Homo-oligomer: A and B are copies of this chain.
């Protein structure tokens, strides 16, 4: 039995907001990366293990559509699904909603697995690939 999607909850703090009174747009990217990280963790994978071998996921392309703004104290949910899984990259669809169920932001992101030292793409380790296959 697989998880077709993952849900990650987070709270908006002062650090996330800007003088316009809303969450600063770049922080939605952080939220989505936290969600991807927690999904991996649920699947038994800690990225720090792979970082020690100088490997990791990097964001290659990203499309963000902001529909409404998040505010201080909002309780946000990032819902993530995998739309494509290849040997060296993963494509995620991620949606951020607030505590009222309102959709705030949709993100499509392609993350590539790379050798961080040589800045070269490389195959996703079988341990990670297998775990992701189970949920995609």
Contacts and interface: CB of A to CB of B under 8 A. Distances in A.
A91 interface: no
A19 B25 contact: no
Contact of A19 (B14, B41, B60): B14
A73 B58 contact: no
Label chain A's interface by main secondary structure. Answer: mixed
Contacts of A41: 73
A33 B61 contact: no
A51 B13 contact: no
Contacts of A61: 63-66
Nearest to A15: B30
Contact of A13 (B17, B30, B116): B30
A123 interface: no
Contacts of A15: 18, 24, 26, 30, 33-34
- Of the four ranges (under 10, 10 to 19, 20 to 34, 35 or more), the interface on chain A belongs to 35 or more
A85 interface: no
Interface in A68-90: 68-69, 71-73
Contacts of A27: 26
A3 interface: no
A17 B48 CA distance: 11
